[in-house]
Amino acid sequence: MSEFLARALKKQDGRQGPRCGVSIAIERMDPAYREQVMAAVDDSAIRSTVICEVLHEDGIEIRPETLQRHRSGRCACPKT
């Protein structure tokens, strides 16, 4: 197997489709801000629409449906 193919297969492992918009946005966040956002995402008492509204205020566009899919594990993020 070529090195390229091995790397491609490794990247693909665990993915179900195109990259999740939430994971792309999270990668681009400052680490301290990311920690705050992830605390909100992990808190089931905070609705996805509210999180998306606050993110929008900070210039980050994520649709509530995208966040809900990520929170429920139905996105393309690798499952751990």
pTM > 0.85: yes or no: no
Q: Give me the pLDDT at residue 15, please.
A: 60
Q: Which residues of the chain register pLDDT less than 50? A: 80
Given a contact cutoff of 8 angstroms between Cβ atoms, the answer to whether 66 and 22 are in contact is yes
The three-state (H, E, C) secondary structure of 4-69, written as one string = HHHHHHHHHCCCCCCCCHHHHHHHCCCHHHHHHHHHHHHCCCCCHHHHHHHHHHCCCCCCHHHHHH
Token pair for residue 74? Answer: 């139905």
Given a contact cutoff of 8 angstroms between Cβ atoms, the answer to whether 46 and 52 are in contact is no
Token pair for residue 55? Answer: 């993110």
